[in-house]
Amino acid sequence: MQTTPSSFDTQVEAVRSGVDARAAAQTLAAEMTEAELLACLHGTVPFWPGRGRIMEHGYNFVPFEMSGVPRLGVPEISFIDGPRGAVVGPTTAFPVSMARGASWDPALEEEVGRAIGVEVRASGGNLFGGVCINLPRHPAWGRAQETYSDQPVLLGRMGAALVRGVKPNAMACVKHFALNSMENARFDVDVTCDETTMHEDFLPHFKEAIDAGAEAVMCAYNSVNGHWASESTELLTDILRTQWGFDGFVLSDFIWAIRDAAASLEAGMDLEAPFAQLRADRLPAEIREGRTSFDAVRRAVVHILTAQLRYYAERDRIEPSADLIAGPAHRALACKVAQHSMVLLRNEDVAGDPALPIDAGFDGRVAVLGKLADAVNLGDKGSSNVNPPSVVTVLDGIRSGLPQATVDAHDGSDLDRAAEVAAGADVTVVVVGYTAAEEGEWVNGRVYGRDDLMGLYPEPATDEDRRVYATMMQRLEVAKGKPEAGGDRRDLRLPSADVALIRAACAASPRTIVVVQSAGAVIIDDWADLPDAIVLMWYWPTTSTFRFSPEGTARTRSGPSAVPTDLAAAGDVGAQWIGSATRCSPLRNDWPRPSCR
């Protein structure tokens, strides 16, 4: 039985035939009722049921759906976050973006984008929200791991490459626009920036990613030069549209970015994400009051439809199989990226030969020390958190990669015992660094109860709404007094226990290799001359064996040197490396915050 194509499908075919996507979007928007137009400007799921789902299942366990019009066949925007991979279900976890930036390889990043785009589409998504290209103003920024570098050129090249890779299977969203590089104060800080600095340092990489085909831009939470980013006409209209010619859509960062429904729409904010929240609750009345208009509504809807029509007209015609998600090819790519991302910071001679590599046929004794050696440590637990179906820890990988060696492990909690294990080994590997507890997206649930942010939620209207509200408030009460997870790093040095373990191992072992897990710069001047080799591992999943073999080369700061093939350490740091605490001013993130309920 032949079915009549929907209005949306008809316009997709028109775009494929050469009709301008914006013109097709205007035709489609003209068919919508006022209620349908308004529904395009926010998420599909009402706020309180959506909040309940997050509390019950976690973040992005299914795509966030927004802005569909079933009567006309307009599909919803199905948002899946990143950038470590597709943040939904069990998918491939790639090394964090700061690690990938250390590869200095846009072609490889485009491969990553292609794999992520396939997994997003196969998981039911059509918008990938993981092209994070904020420039870290300070190396202690908690979300430094989500971006590539503190250099605009590298940010632009890598971000554009990720966009190109994703495009055949999903719309790409760049974020967070703009000047977002502080985690604990992101809901409060007003970033002041002169025009020259903004356009030379903080914006050019966004333009490069947009020119590569990004269809969406996510605004930041922070304020810029006195205006919330969601209400900044300068950013969202003057720069994005007038100067750069962007004709996709702008969506808000989630839940707390839009402070004023009408003001955001007038400034150029098209879509409130991810729920039916402030706009669904207040925008109809604000239109009646004259604070905004249906002309502004239609303009925003046309922006959203333009991007969707272009995407559906141009995307790959073949639907990717779900079997590709976290399949062998993508896991192998993740390992390849890791090899190209790790950085060999030091490699001294031991008995006439470099400390690294270690031959895969080595049959001596290896000590593996540190609480992180056998930990799953993929990065922060916020919106970039990816859950691969399996992860091989460093310890397991070493055991698999050196099958003839005797491998002894100790978590380092007893320094004397750890030193004994190191003393009995031919080689000692010490795994140190940070976890999501020390750095990452600030995910403290108490933010939901801030008085100013509570004012952005609609009143609970149903028994289910009230149940979710009560549960949320109970959780806020339980959270009082507990330590906060993630956020901006408080210290650029390693934890004191890690430094003590390094010192003990180096004093006891004839050959010591320190592996550092981190999102970025670590001040190592107090111990860097002690180990024979130092490898910056970043955060990444050792999804296969963690082998040491004799072939391969890597770039170090002083030039090429022999390193393992499977632990290739072929990267070069893509951001400034702070040599001493005296060369870096403290990160101020203590802006006054409103009280919590």
Residue at 597 is within a domain: no
Residue at 329 is within a domain: no
Q: Say what the pLDDT of residue 578 is.
A: 66
Would you say residue 412 has pLDDT above 70? yes
Looking at the fold, whether 458 and 496 belong to one and the same domain comes out as no
Enclosing domain of residue 454: 445-479
Looking at the fold, whether 244 and 160 belong to one and the same domain comes out as yes
Q: Say what the pLDDT of residue 449 is.
A: 84
Q: Say what the pLDDT of residue 591 is.
A: 52
Looking at the fold, whether 235 and 220 belong to one and the same domain comes out as yes
0.85 exceeded by the pTM?
Answer: yes
498 labelled catalytic = no
8 Å CB contact between 22 and 247:
yes
Number of domains in the chain: 3
Looking at the fold, whether 185 and 82 belong to one and the same domain comes out as yes
Q: Say what the pLDDT of residue 185 is.
A: 87
Q: What is the pLDDT of residues 155-190, one digit of tens each?
A: 999 999 999 999 999 999 999 999 998 888 899 999
- Domain with residue 126: its CATH number is 3.20.20.300
Residues with Cβ < 8 Å from 197, sequence gap 6 or more? none
3-state secondary structure (DSSP) of residue 410: strand
Instruction: Please state, for a pLDDT cut of 70, what percent of the chain lies above it.
Output: 90
Q: Say what the pLDDT of residue 558 is.
A: 27
Residue 287 identity (one-letter amino acid)? I
Residue at 502 is within a domain: yes
- Domain with residue 404: its CATH number is 3.40.50.1700
8 Å CB contact between 235 and 177:
yes
Looking at the fold, whether 397 and 467 belong to one and the same domain comes out as no
Q: Read off the pLDDT band of 584 (50, 70, 90).
A: low
Residue at 325 is within a domain: no
Looking at the fold, whether 154 and 202 belong to one and the same domain comes out as yes
Q: Read off the pLDDT band of 271 (50, 70, 90).
A: very high
Q: Say what the pLDDT of residue 565 is.
A: 33
Looking at the fold, whether 36 and 98 belong to one and the same domain comes out as yes
Residue at 168 is within a domain: yes
Looking at the fold, whether 138 and 245 belong to one and the same domain comes out as yes
Q: Which of 427, 460, 479 is the last residue of a domain?
A: 479
Looking at the fold, whether 376 and 460 belong to one and the same domain comes out as no
Q: Which of 253, 260, 465, 498 is catalytic?
A: 253
Residue at 589 is within a domain: no
Looking at the fold, whether 83 and 208 belong to one and the same domain comes out as yes
Among the residue ranges 30-34, 38-42, 433-437, the one predicted with the least confidence is 433-437
Residue at 35 is within a domain: yes
Looking at the fold, whether 393 and 450 belong to one and the same domain comes out as no
Give the H or E element holding residue 428: strand 427-433
Alpha-carbon distance of 96 to 84, in angstroms, equals 5
Q: What is the mean pLDDT of the chain?
A: 91
The closest of 64, 67, 72, 71 to 38, measured between CA atoms, is 67
Classify residue 191 as exposed, middle or buried by CB count within 10 Å of its CB (0-12, 13-18, 19+): buried
Neighbouring C-beta atoms of residue 327, cutoff 10 Å: 15
Neighbouring C-beta atoms of residue 381, cutoff 10 Å: 17
Would you say residue 546 has pLDDT above 50? no
Q: What is the pLDDT of residues 348-404, one digit of tens each?
A: 999 999 999 898 899 999 999 999 999 999 999 889 999 999 998 999 889 988 999
Residue at 193 is within a domain: yes
Looking at the fold, whether 471 and 500 belong to one and the same domain comes out as no
Q: Which residues of 402-430 are buried (b: 16+ CB within 10 A; e: fewer)?
A: beebebbbbbbeebeebbbbbeebbbbbb
Average pLDDT for 97-113: 96
Q: Say what the pLDDT of residue 62 is.
A: 94
